Amino acid sequence: SQQGEEDPQALSIQEGENATMNCSYKTSINNLQWYRQNSGRGLVHLILIRSNEREKHSGRLRVTLDTSKKSSSLLITASRAADTASYFCATDGSGANSKLTFGKGITLSVRP
Amino acid sequence: GAVVSQHPSWVICKSGTSVKIECRSLDFQATTMFWYRQFPKQSLMLMATSNEGSKATYEQGVEKDKFLINHASLTLSTLTVTSAHPEDSSFYICSARGQGGSYEQYFGPGTRLTVT
């Protein structure tokens, strides 16, 4: 069953603008990860944030995690046309048998 | 970074035949591999988790006799879709997790299966 719920489901912005995507989840987690998928391709791991972290940066990406609200956000700054893709959040539970549970995904379109 | 490959990248087969998809970790040993299915414009749904040398654990609703998983070595897992039907047409993606307690999974590029 899916746990993550991203919003919005689709986002269209102009190149150079920032894109903010949100993810909410239901159960406790060990970490939360964001992935990108270009149409018809595999997943690219973007960033992992652990449950004891509140914010993490990687290049133009900024991820926040609020465990009290069970939510995370992914901010892409100064977007580029090449950022056009689907973005998924995935939650990872605790323990050796943990597995990723993906949200429904957000389709981001960056207009040149 | 860690690389996971899948073969084939796409396959077309006739209804009733079986198809095998391979997932390999190229530069690390994967104690656990995961198989996902993704229908068009939908998210990834976990089908099963396989640990090297033991039977796969299937998610609820996934038929283990239809989707045979073999994780024979630390670098190879295979998914066989038996007696394929058009509704099995999908994008199948594997991922692998290494040893040492890391939670990061490395994803393969996916295999597009079309059953005619």
**Where does the pLDDT of residue A99 fall: very low under 50, low under 70, confident under 90, or very high at 90 and above?**
confident
Closest-CA distance of chain A to residue B109, Å:
4
Closest-CA distance of chain A to residue B43, Å:
5
Name the strand (E) or helix (H) holding B113: strand B111-115
Mean pLDDT of A48-53: 94
- Cβ within 8 Å, pair A98-B103: yes
Contact criterion met (CB below 8 Å) for B4 and B95? yes
Nearest-angstrom CA–CA distance, A91 and A85? 20
Contact criterion met (CB below 8 Å) for B42 and B113? no
Measured between CA atoms, the residue of chain A closest to residue B48 is A99
> Helix, strand or coil for residue A81?
helix
Q: Which of A6, A43, A107 is best to mutate for the B interface (most B CBs within 10 A)?
A: A43
**Cβ contacts (< 8 Å) between B105 and chain A: which residues?**
45, 100
Mean pLDDT of A69-96: 92
Measured between CA atoms, the residue of chain B closest to residue A38 is B109
Closest CA to B76 of B15, B20, B26, B116: B26
How high is the pLDDT of residue B51? Answer: 86
**Cβ contacts (< 8 Å) between A31 and chain B: which residues?**
103
pLDDT tens by residue, B68-88 = 999 888 899 999 999 999 999
Closest-CA distance of chain B to residue A110, Å:
18
Is a pLDDT exceeding 60 seen at residue A39?
yes
- Cβ within 8 Å, pair A2-B108: no
pLDDT tens by residue, B15-44 = 999 999 999 999 888 888 999 999 988 899
**CA B90 from centre of chain:** 12
How high is the pLDDT of residue B97? Answer: 86
How high is the pLDDT of residue A74? Answer: 97
- Cβ within 8 Å, pair B43-A2: yes
